[in-house]
Structure 1
Amino acid sequence: MPIRPSPLLCGISLWCAATCAGAGGEPSVEPSAERLAASGIHHAPRVDDHFENNDGPLARGSVWKWRWNAFINHLPPPPENGYRFPMDHPDVPWLKANRQDNTLTWIGHATALLQINGVNILTDPVFSERASPLSFIGPARKVPPGLTLAELPHIDVVLISHSHYDHLDTASVQALNRQAGGPPRFLVPLGIKQWMANKGIDTVEELNWSDHTRVAGLDFWFVPATHWSARSFSDRNDTLWGGWAMKTAPGAARPFSLYFAGDTGYSGDSKRIGAAFGHFDLALIPMGAYAPRWFMGPQHIDPQQAVQVFKDVGAKKAIGIHWGTFELTDEPLD
């Protein structure tokens, strides 16, 4: 199905250029546990009670060296427009009433609203002013959300990729849990269900890599990514991380498939996902927070690698996410 064009495509008009078409992949397939296993997608490995990546532990550079180099070189440089990004505000009443068209609205960073066959899906909701455990320090939002929480339609499903503060925001998930009409179903990685329960959220299902669930007539699989997790200095890799694959149920009148990569470094995972699912109609692929490569390379793909992931998973269309909102690393925001 086509994605409805602007103004519903994304929250910031300047960034619509991140959308690209192409690829193809093999014909659509119906994933099964056997096909995922044959493609190399299994439950996440564990080492000493901590989760691990498929290709082993991430190479870890010195965070102090990185921060000192950024300080003495005044990194990141401000964007040429001085943070004055033009905004394309979506048609909110239309979105709230829509039950027919498949749409994508990029709200900012890794947060996106997807409307698929009448189901409203939200990815990694972060609407707060900072991606931080504290309200007065930490990466501050340079661009407001393309939609506010109040402007969202009723959300049916929330997809969480991992526990980092720029992907899992306490105030945002608690607000969604209080939405009129009842809370959404939160699909989360292993280990995050208890965190959600501690925040008063109980409509939660947690999955391991290769696990499958069906919600509101859509099939979801949690798939591997090459990354890590932590919300403090003492819980590194205690909870899992990953991406999400979604397909309409077999026999759907309007079949559609989605890949939300979450946050990842480049590895064999994208080829495994492509082999398991054949192709995707749409992919949301991170392409920011990538510099310097000696430090960020293992955990974050850069724009060139994002294009490679696009090809690996056989996406027909894609949009680049995870950039243009928070200054997290050394490249300019634009």
Structure 2
Amino acid sequence: MSNLAITRVANACALLELNGHTILTDPWFTERWYLRRGEPLGLTVAELPALTAIVATSFAANHWDLRALREYPHKTSTPVYVSTSRMARQARTFGYRMAEVLPWNETRDLAPALSIEAVPAGKTMVWPNNAYVFTSGQTRIFFGGEIQDVALLESYRSRRAPVAVALLPVNGLRPLLGPPLVMGPKQAVAGTAALGAQVLVPIHEAHAKDPLSLIFRKHGSSEEARALATGFDVVCLPPGQRWEY
């Protein structure tokens, strides 16, 4: 039986199961009039297990769903790790007593055999974005919900062991004027190789026709990443499908 399973929920929101522990990444369950998923919802908040931790890479609404966080019943016993002090304050306001900013390059123990490390993932304006690495025994997972620069992954790998699985964005989302916000297929493949991963699980792919799509455009897909990849597998997960490593 595998000690790692992944269920994608939507966008960069995924449920990670690692050696009996469960971690929710970049929670996003509720749409807004200006921000739609463009894909089905893989799980509801009510279907979530009691989580070992919740992590969020960015304060963007499709990575940090405050409406959904209100509904989760195990607030007092679930650690929440975020990238900015405002996000930590918001989580504590909703009853998450164990919410904290995890600064870049710092590590916390989630359980006796499970740790989390915050990895630099660039900035949104002046605010830092986090990526995270989860380690349990010999299994290491990289999660970069809002990351664009492959050089950050190369730098991380130069001082850390390889990971088994990388969850990286692939839609190359960018404004009409300005640089990309996240990786496209080429960068996701290069980032996976830089991390020494055996598997790429694409995230941050769907892009709905909503008011924000008039400003931000998609430039890539998971299938393009699969076509570019050599030396590792690309596992394209529809929302709600559970995959075992």
TM norm structure 2: 0.79
1:271/1:263 CA distance change after superposition, 3 Å: same
> Contact (CA 8 Å) 2:185, 2:220: kept in 1 or not?
no
Distance 1:140 1:333 in 2: 18
| Secondary structure of the corresponding residue to residue 312 of structure 1 | helix
Larger-Rg structure: 1
**1:50-69 CA distances to partner (integer Å, 9 max, x unpaired)?**
xxxxxxxxxxxxxxxxxxxx
> Contact (CA 8 Å) 1:264, 1:301: kept in 2 or not?
yes
Matched, 1:317 2:205: no
User: Structure 2: which 5+ residue stretches go unaligned?
Assistant: 222-245
Number of matched pairs: 214
1:293, CA displacement in angstroms?
Answer: 7.9
**Aligned equivalent of 1:210, options 101, 105, 118:** 105
Q: Which structure 2 residues correspond to residues 73-112 of structure 1 after superposition, within 5 A?
A: 101-112=3-14
Distance 1:171 1:262 in 2: 19
Q: Which amino acid aligns with 1:110?
A: A
Q: Quote the residue 1:198 is aligned against.
A: 93
Q: Quote the residue 2:133 is aligned against.
A: 245
Distance 1:322 1:267 in 2: 16
> Contact (CA 8 Å) 2:78, 2:96: kept in 1 or not?
no
Q: Which amino acid aligns with 1:215?
A: L
Q: Which amino acid aligns with 1:102?
A: L
Give RMSD over aligned pairs: 2.3
> Contact (CA 8 Å) 2:16, 2:23: kept in 1 or not?
yes
Q: Quote the residue 2:47 is aligned against.
A: 151
**Aligned equivalent of 1:295, options 150, 175, 178:** 178
**Aligned equivalent of 2:69, options 167, 173, 178:** 173
**1:192-243 CA distances to partner (integer Å, 9 max, x unpaired)?**
2222223332221221101110012311110101231xxxxxxx53x43110
* Higher-strand-fraction structure: 2
Instruction: Tell which has more relative contact order, 1 or 2 (C-alpha 8 A, sep 6+).
Output: 1
Distance 2:60 2:103 in 1: 17
1:146, CA displacement in angstroms?
Answer: 0.9
1:301, CA displacement in angstroms?
Answer: 1.6
Distance 2:134 2:184 in 1: 24
Q: Quote the residue 1:61 is aligned against.
A: none
Q: Which amino acid aligns with 2:81?
A: L
Identity of aligned residues (%): 24
Q: Quote the residue 1:119 is aligned against.
A: 21
1:153/1:326 CA distance change after superposition, 3 Å: farther
1:138/1:175 CA distance change after superposition, 3 Å: same
